[in-house]
Structure 1
Amino acid sequence: MSKENTGSLDTSLVAAAAGAFAVLCASASFAGVLADARWLFPALITVLAVAGVGVLGRRLSWPTAGVVAAQLVALLEALTVLFASSSAFLGLLPTPGALVELSRLLGGADELIRTGVPPVAADPPLQALVCLGLGVVALLVDLIAVGFGTPAVTGLVLLCVFAIPASLADRMLPWWSFALGGAGYALLLAAGGHHRRWRRYEEPDRVAQTLFGRTSATVAGTAGVIAVLAGSVFTGVGTEGRLPGSVPEEFGGTDGIGLQPFTSLRGQLNRDRVVELFRVRGLQQDSYLRAMTLRKFDPNTGWQLEGLTQGVEANAPLPLPEGTTIGRGRPERVEVQPIGYRDPWLPVFGTPVSVSGMGRDWRYDPAAGIVFTQTNQETRPYTQQVVVPDPSPDELRSARGPMPIDPAYLDPSGISPEVAELARQLTEDQPTEFDKVVAINRFFTDPANGFRYDLSTAPSTGQDALSDFLFRGKRGFCEQYASSMAVLLRSIGIPSRVAIGFTAGYQDGTEQVITTEDAHAWVEAYFPGWGWQTFDPTPLADGRTALPQFLDTALHPPQPAAPLPGQPLPPPEPGAPAPPVAGAQPDQPDSRDRPQQRREPVERGWSLTAFGVLALLACTGAAAPLAVREIRRGQRLQAITEGREGAASTAWREVLDEFRDRGYQPRATDTARQLADRLVTDHELDTEGADALKRLVTAVEREWYAPTPQADGTLSETLKSITTSLQLNAPMDLRSRLFPRSALPPWRTHP
């Protein structure tokens, strides 16, 4: 009798199992960047499929190339079954449609990696990516450790598994993941190194002594300690001492949901899913939350962060922004709780007076109006004391004086002649700098000019992106509009910059909730004394704009009272739109450039009626199952009380419906007695209820099978005893009472 048949172990199988175990141990490092364990089971299936096919191929004496090819097929098959079975042939075999679905899923993982803040939810795209990576790693480990018999080399491959989550996490990965990875690698060294010295089939005791003996335990412990120490070094590589903006191509914002420190005419600001970022308390009026400002315009790449200084300590009282001498405005105390936001930029409202609670090492640059950190740290809840400027249009029209700001905010480099000519034409009739800014703002928001908000830009015509947008495409999102307006302002000598941050979000009780949908870009123009003031050229139609009062007043001046007959019309305000022509309907004001603000819907009589009808229909639909159940119950009780033919069967159907309402589904193959026994056990009926159920089964069997069924005058009391026992021992929750499951066609146990 061969060793194979006497309980001996196949040593190559031991080595293969150790390799798969080492890969799974290394995959524990993903626990540091994935928020839940949904990825674990698919990863287990994928690794076992690759390792299992390797074992099968070697048992059948396939060549190494054949084993690798079979493992690649197994990997593809595993991914298909796990993530694209709906498009696969018979749910198993890959088809072109399944490959397209897998490709789409893996492509979606790129956006989750780029925008997610670790730990992120293990959604299917990330699960598929993790399984693909671990499947390839499992194949390489199996090939190196078992096929080539050099398990030590697999350490380089397993190290790559740790390097990916270590580079994404901003904290050290869980210590146990390094210890587990070290132990798995030590076991692989023991098994992979010995399987060539072992016989083809080896005694289990010798295999166990080699794998779990003193030497292997020492190696495993040492490997675990080294892995923990190495892990702390890998994860500790951060951004300590680097200044945001000094090396934007390296720092450039985080890979989290925080915004990148540049905006481009070709960029995209949309997200595949909505993520809650902040909860804000104390905000008295909708206002933009500024994260950063951009002062450099490059015609090829758009607006970029440049010139950020070391600034001042943000925890101390903050100076007025550079070039601002008028500190008048509405004081507010605002509390901000970051939820899904992590970035080196701390968003602030208005003009910050003080910021506290966010921790140490935060700086404030008065020139850029930015609060930032040079260290890699969490964004904690913080409190702002801010002033929201409230200049009037006339005060901004009369703003004069020197401009003590960096000349870079006036730099017109890279602006084409046709763009400069457009700005001149738009503002040539405007008497003040403020009116010129308003005229350019109105150019974008006036529907007559053909601009519209869209998350995708118009196709390129081969010209520069700015000219494409202004003269041909006229379609884009906030980055396009803010970038274009700031360029037009600079071309006529008005200092401007692009601000990046968030709109005010939506109201949730006493809090404002700001999500990724509220990410926004707008324009800030400089006025001597008053400093940087907000303008927004984006024609949003979803009510997210929060225009300052001076801009809203300038864009939509109040209509003067109708003059008396024969009285001349008053002259229009500078920069105001022309009055309506004769014959225009007085109850239809011109709203071509009026942005969609948050407004309460206009009350209409028919809307209340429609609401009432809809509410009545909804209530009727919701109550239908309960009504059906009560009508059916009443009809059955009447039939039982009157002793009609088939009363026992009627009572039995009522009992089954009572159990169905509690989530029980009878099996068609059970007899009445089997069903009764299961019901008594499952719902723990008391003695009275169990005895009553037995009496009912006896009456049902007599009615079904006796040659001459006799009427049973006690059925009503029997049924009442059963239902009373159910109410005491198996009460239904509110959902089951309001929406009884038995309102569907009843389950019949007898034809």
Structure 2
Amino acid sequence: MKDTDRSALAVAIAMVLASFVLHPLTQDSSYLGLSWVLIVLLGVVSVVLRRLHANSAVVFGAQLGVWAVATLVIAAQLPAVRSETGLFDHVGALFGSAVGHMQTQSAPMTPNDGVKLLFVSCLALIAVLTDLLVLGLRRPALGLAPTATVFLIPALGLGQDTGIGPFLLIGFGYLAVLIAEGLNANARWTRGLSRDSADEHGTADPVVWRAAAYIGLPALVLVTVLGMLLPTISLGGFGFGNGPGNGGGPIQLADPTLDLKRNLTEPRNRPVLEYRTDNNDPLYLRLASLPAFSRAGWTNAQTPLQQGPDFPAVPGMADTDTRQRSTRITVTDFASEYLPMPYAPRSVDVQGSWGIDPNSLVMVSSNRNPRARADASNGLTYTVQSVDIDPTAADLAASGVGTPVDSETTLAVPSDLPPRITELAKRITASGDTASAKAALLQAYFRSTKNFTYSTAPQPGSGYQALTNFLFEDKKGYCEQFAASMALMARIVGIPSRVAVGFLPGERDGDHWTVSVKDMHAWPELYFSGYGWVRYEPTPSSVTGTAPAWSVRGTTPSQSESDSEPSTRATTRSQPSAPASNRANEQQTAPVTQAPTHPLRNVLIGLAVLVGLAVLAAPASIRIRRRGHRFDRDREPSEQVEGAWSEVRDTVIDYGGSWPSGSPRTIGAQVGDRLEPSESEAMGRLAVLVERSRYAQTFDDDLDRELSAMTSEIRRGLAEPQPWHRRMAALLVPRSVFRGLLRFRRRT
């Protein structure tokens, strides 16, 4: 196998391993096969052109051309976000869709054609750059940099904790490149050896594999340790302190529904909390609310957190005589930064450091340690005093729409909203003469099994695409689609709205209620004068049970023109709803500002890691390159002999020895004293060749084979008596590379 073939194969292996770094971020694994095909194709282009003796510029240009054409071909096969103005605009639209999807999704992301194209094209482009560094510029030590940038995609795009695995995958890929370079160097040393000679000394000098182990394995250990020590790579990684605290600086909180999709497919519907209340009625328990809507989906708004335990006044609530209750909650198996509570809480007796969003009355951990904050709710037992928002239908009809303090957010409808969503909302509510009647009509429309099918596997999409898919195309979804669509349509007809995330009431078990992981749920809250935020339930009754009494009217909306055939019955009560694909990452801030949307701190740490690994590998890489140059067959015979002599000298220095002074025979004798007889004899023969190269300059025809055999034997003899740690130091940080600095230090 030619050197270039071996290096191209190593680059392909490194890139295939790097492609798995992105896999935890998406539910769609189809990008893997596409990227592998393109990586192999680019590798074949490199091998073929280099065998035809094309220079590096030609190879690089050809690979870029193949990459560009392949990107266009793949994009042409992806129907999502199709542009009517041409293929290039279609590619741009796909990339724009990918960026929006990544900014508004939790990992693993739902499938998105734009993300697929972005992943495939980025991996292929990184493969081209790695090929250029390793084969074109012949700098394999720098081959780590492009492959390691794959890690920056989740760091910048999703803010998702990637764990140790990606570091290991990138490290193993780098190890493959180093092994290939070591084998190439070894092939250059032993070029010209007969099969018998090769068999005598082994098919490859063991130093190659020791070099790979001593250079690569420490790198793997380093990246593993860094993977454990680095802070979570998330959008909230900027500005964290240690331990709890109420001081300044942003706190970035994660999406409370991050694991919902996975929980939905768990084989066991495990209990997560239980509660007791002094009222016999079951309770919805809220975690968070999402008041802001845009093309990206529903997100939280920037609101300064207040400190508990007492809550501010219930927004919009005028009746202070509303029924009050006390609820004792025990969280048994649910780790979250959000505290599950009934709405509307008035006070809470809970351990730990917590902040309160005054608009939503959501309670979130203000612990400034991200790991502790993520586990803040687990194992807690606490008591919540709350008031029930329990109007009658007549009360809501008489009250009318109110104006919340954050009405600029909770009434906002994007100007670029697809017109047919607006038209559908107005058509559904056309017969409603009051705000509550319009809300009831919307709820009835979504709860009707003639209009929608409850399903945890809706058509993929994000943002407006997910909404239009749900409302007009497959008309299948789970609680988040139902809640998000009703909340948006309520705004269209003039009712302030937001989406709440939390738990269904669970199942009664003696004197308490047990809530399971699959009871996680989302629902809309609408704002009415005198009552504030009122819960509605558009998800079908087979999942949620009976809708709130105040939300039901006798009017049932007619089926729209785009209605599908009557759907099959939805899943049972024990099967939950899950978040829609257009959910944005939940973001709360404390006490005053939101964390930056780009994790600069983590990017800088990542770049520092790359630089550190490159610095770590540089001495060994220089040593390997120097060794390969010395045994280049294109050099003059005398230069090859001097190169072999220099290689032995550097090997002695690498193992901590000193190089004697004197004539070649004198030096050969002194170094030979440290070796076994056969190796000492080889050292003597090499000394004779050095004298001949300096004076007679006459050599046998098989000089290169003889030099390779002698040098390999001498180096092996020098290495065998050394302890393992000195061998590692010699290969990882060879002293000969720093010989000039060492001489300078001794002189000073």
TMscore range, shorter length: 0.3 to 0.5
Which has the bigger relative contact order, CA under 8 A and spacing at least 6?
2
TM-score, normalised to structure 2, is 0.45
